[in-house]
A and B are shown apart, each in its own frame.
Chain A
Amino acid sequence: MAEIELRQVAKKFGNLWAVKPMDLTIHDGEFVALLGPSGCGKTTTLRMISGLEAVTAGRVYINGEDVTWLSASQRNIAFVFQFFALYPQMTVRQNIAFPLESQGMKRALINQRVDEVVKILRIEHLLQRKPGALSGGDKQRVALARALVRKPACFLMDEPLGALDAEFREAMRAEIKRLHLAQHATTVYVTHDQVEAMAMGDRIVVMSAAEIQQIGTPAEVYHTPTNLFVANFIGSPGMNLVPGKYADGRVHLPGGSVCTVPPAWQPALAALPSDDVILGFRPEATQVSDTGALRGTVYASDLHGSYTMLHISLERTGRINGNGGDKIVHIRTRRDVAYPLGTEIRFDLDPEMMRFFDPKSEKALSKEARG
């Protein structure tokens, strides 16, 4: 059990900031997802927590103890790699027992611990196999078992599902989360897949360009993103972000649509230095209706199984050849109504779910100007 704290931790490679100075506290028993596109510094952060990478500046604390200059093996953490890192010449049992043997533990005790963890992960039947003969999912289970067997203070996982086929990924995701719920070991989980981060994380740390963009629960990052990056990155597709001009309680959007701003937002919009504003709304926070305030033409429409996603071009230029970078918004509709390409369509936004951003600072506006 452990609490992890990063204070002004930073990493520079040559002249490049891999991670700019950041503060982050991960509570005991918490599952935190470090989420971001490739190259955002999430893996470097994880490696600095583990001790595999030395910090350039700042301090790392585990349970209040300064571990900044302790090696990885002295920190009592377990690291799960994307590519399993199982020893191919050893059987599954030997692989799992390996970390304990290096500690010089008694054979009987080792066997007991190994039997415990294989039961938790339901891989008893694999003990005598070599890793080469296992499926991707089973390999990752063995890797998890090897991490678990040491009873580490915390788990650090670097895209553990990244190398798995899509068909295993969903099930493995639930399995890791269930394991966490059973063990309540502090876990830091690095991923570039926002679905994984949302599904698994108690809290999500969204990173981009070597900096933390937002820290929050799945609901927070989804519904109240702090800036344009988070709004676009979270969700599939991301939040619709439409540039417009604000005047007298209304936002004028491209293509002549006008959107009424809920009164609670008006002071914040009025306080902007210019009339430029970006309106944000989630695809599901829309309602197709004949009297809708927003208008556009259907650019593409596609079935997602239980629903249909309509892609709407707001600029009703008449030609929809895709030229000129028309603003496309995505709205989620019921699948039983078909909208052919080029159909004119009207829709409304759920006023509760509207968000507004300052195009200059790219930051989200907050409802009542709280000073």
Chain B
Amino acid sequence: MSQITLKNITKRFGVVTALNDVSFEIRDAELFVLLGPTGAGKTTTLRIIAGLTKQDAGSVCFDGQSVDALPPADRDVAFVFQQYSLYPNMTVYENLAFPLRAPLRRMKEEEIKKRVTETAEVLRIGHLLQRKTARLSGGEMQRVAIGRAIVRSPRVYLMDEPLSNLDAKLREALRVELSHLQRTQGSTTLFVTHDQIEALTMADRIAVLNHGRIVQVGTPEDIYDRPATAFVAQLVGSPKINLLPARAEGGALIVANSAIRLPVGETRHAPHHLPPEFILGVRPEDVRLDPTGMFVGEIVLIEPLGVETLLHIKNGEQVIVSTVSGIAPARIGETVRFQVVRERLHFFDRVSGARLM
């Protein structure tokens, strides 16, 4: 296993800059997630590391050695694609054996057989080995695809949204299995996804990418609790964070178009130098129904999700989402009192979206 460093990678496609001066480091045995919306440049980054795409500037190093001049075959990486990566004209066994049979490895058939059987065991696909890949279910296919990556212990695993084509139940199950597998095998893995749940649940560290730039690198806790920008704050967490335009006035924080006022004295966690106008972020779980709460609102929408219920509470023109546990016995039109957890407020610049310290 290896440690991977990207130094100032830039890639343009025609006039579009897909990646702009991207640098980060994946530590040995780490599960590193690249998170970002569609078109952020995640897949391009992955392909540059694999050598399938050439960067315009910058350099990729494995264990401190530049691999820029090496073709994909010589970089010894394993790639798990979103789809289409199993060869349809081969059986599962042949698919798993395929990377081992590459001429540059010159592996004996017995050794190949042993490795394939072991891998199939780990992924519980032993019974499928003689099947043609076209006859597999979606989950089985993706297991085989993962199997084809782990069968040859490469320097790094590159996974390009491997779960996004599966249905929800399967995705959950495979997510847990993948993260278990990665942790027990201690493999260096770069996992690309647009799904914040996948990122939060699986990652050791996350890099958030937007418009070809790294916005934030940190542990899942960092990203969730201390998002560097309003964009990151909105990207992680479901339901989404409430972002409310606000201003500081006469020693209080005032949320625009509403009756919500927070005396500054009580919000010790507010930045020292708040600009006159800014964006206030409150996670839905930090908006709590409380009969003695300072704020009053009317419930305009109830979304019972089972484990929790989302209440949309209207105050003035603002609608704030609050999560309460279980299936809440609330009614639409009901007036409720609520409170926000002061220690967990987020402040962002109104223009740049940057976190205000």
8 CB-based A-B contacts, threshold 8 Å: A37-B167, A181-B301, A192-B167, A199-B305, A235-B307, A303-B200, A303-B220, A341-B183
Q: Kindly count the residue-residue contacts between A and B in the assembled complex, taking CB atoms under 8 Å apart.
A: 115
Q: Which of A21-29, A86-94, A162-170 contacts B (4 or more CB under 8 A)?
A: A162-170
**Given A174-B312, A300-B180, A322-B180, are A305 and B303 also a contact pair (CB < 8 Å)?**
no
Bound together, the chains give a CA A237 to CA B220 distance in angstroms of 20
Q: Give the bracket for the number of chain B residues in contact with chain A.
A: 35 or more
Decide: A165 and B38 in contact? CB cutoff 8 A.
Answer: yes
Are B201 and A303 within 8 A (Cβ)?
Answer: yes
State which of B52-60, B63-71, B236-244 sits at the interface with chain A.
B236-244
The interface on chain A, measured as residues whose beta carbon lies within 8 A of the other chain's beta carbons, has a size of 50
Mask of B176-209 contacts with A, CB within 8 angstroms, 1/0: 1101110110000000001101001110000000
Within the assembled complex, what's the spacing in Å between the Cα atoms of A322 and B310? 36
Residues of A within 8 A of B327 (CB): 218-219, 222-223
Residue with the highest number of chain A CB atoms closer than 10 Å, among B235, B301, B307: B307
**Chain B residues whose C-beta falls within 8 Å of the C-beta of A306 in the assembled complex:** 237, 283, 285, 323
Interface string of B146-190 (1 = CB under 8 A from A): 000000000000000000000111001001110111011000000
CB distance from B132 to the nearest CB of A (A): 22
Write out, one digit per residue, whether chain A residues 286-318 have a CB within 8 A of any chain B CB (1) or not (0). 000000000000011011111001010000000
B266 to chain A, nearest CB (A): 23
Which of B168, B224, B235, B332 is packed against the most chain A CB atoms within 10 Å?
B168
Which A residues are in CB contact (< 8 Å) with B312? 174
Q: CB < 8 Å: which of B167, B183, B234, B238 contacts A38?
A: B167
Contact with A along B111-127 (1 / 0, CB 8 A): 00000000001101000
A152-193 interface mask toward B, CB cutoff 8 Å, 1 = contact, 0 = none? 000000000000011100110110011001000000000011
| Residue contact A305 to B304, C-beta cutoff 8 Å | no
Q: Identify which of B181, B238, B306, B307 contacts A305 (C-beta below 8 A).
A: B238
CA separation between A299 and B181, bound complex, in Å? 10
B306 touches A237 (CB 8 A): no
User: Cβ of A282 < 8 Å from any Cβ of B?
Assistant: yes
Q: How far is the CB of B346 from chain A (nearest CB, A)?
A: 13
Which residue on chain B has the smallest CB distance to residue A307? Answer: B285
CB distance from A345 to the nearest CB of B (A): 15
B290 interface contact, C-beta 8 A = no
B37→A165 contact, CB < 8 A: yes
Would you call B260 an interface residue if the criterion is a C-beta within 8 Å of the partner chain's C-beta atoms?
A: no
Q: Is there a chain A Cβ closer than 8 Å to B221's Cβ? A: yes
A320 to B240, CA, bound (A): 35
- A167:B307 contact, CB within 8 angstroms: no
- With A38-B167, A167-B37 as given contacts, are A282 and B200 in contact (CB-CB < 8 Å)? no
Q: Is the CB of A300 within 8 A of B176?
A: yes
Q: CB < 8 Å: which of B37, B176, B220 contacts A299? A: B176
Q: Assess whether A195 is interfacial by the CB under 8 Å rule.
A: yes
- Contact yes or no, A322 B177, CB < 8 A: yes
Q: Mark A217-253, 1 if CB is under 8 A from B, else 0.
A: 0110011000000001111111000000000000000
Whether A198 contacts B305 by the Cβ 8 Å rule is: yes
Collect the chain A residues with CB atoms within 8 Å of residue B307's CB: 235, 282-284, 332
Q: Which A residue sits closest to B200, measured CB to CB?
A: A303
Residues of A within 8 A of B184 (CB): 320-322, 341
Q: With A and B bound together, what is the CA distance between A195 and B168 in angstroms?
A: 10
Q: Which of B17-58 contact A (CB under 8 A)?
A: 37-38
A200 within 8 A of partner (CB)? yes
B321 to chain A: closest residue by CB? A174
Closest B residue to A167 by beta carbon equals B37
A95 within 8 A of B: no
Cα A299 to Cα B183 with chains together (Å): 10
User: Is A328 close to B, CB under 8 A?
Assistant: yes
Who on chain B is nearest to A330 by CB? B176
Q: Is B325 an interface residue (CB 8 A)?
A: yes
Residue from B37, B201, B300 within 8 A of A309 (CB atoms):
B201
B306–A238 CB distance below 8 A: no
B residues 235-265 in Cβ contact with A at 8 Å:
235-240
What 0/1 pattern do residues 322 to 354 of A give for CB contact below 8 A with B? 110100100010000000010000000000000
Q: Which residues of B contact A328 (CB under 8 A)?
A: 176
Q: Which residues of B contact A320 (CB under 8 A)?
A: 180, 184
Q: A303-B200, A322-B181, A323-B121 are in contact. Are A193 and B168 (CB under 8 A)?
A: yes
Expressed in whole angstroms, the Cα–Cα distance for A315 and B122 within the complex equals 17
In the assembled complex, how far is the CB of residue B269 from the closest CB belonging to chain A, in whole angstroms?
18
Instruction: With CB as the reference atom, state the residue of chain A lying closest to B240.
Output: A170
Residues of A within 8 A of B167 (CB): 37-38, 192
Q: Which residues of A contact B332 (CB under 8 A)?
A: 181
**Further 6 A-B residue pairs, CB within 8 A, beyond A223-B327, A306-B323:** A167-B37, A198-B304, A199-B310, A218-B327, A299-B176, A320-B180
Which A residues lie within 8 Å of B202 (CB)? 302
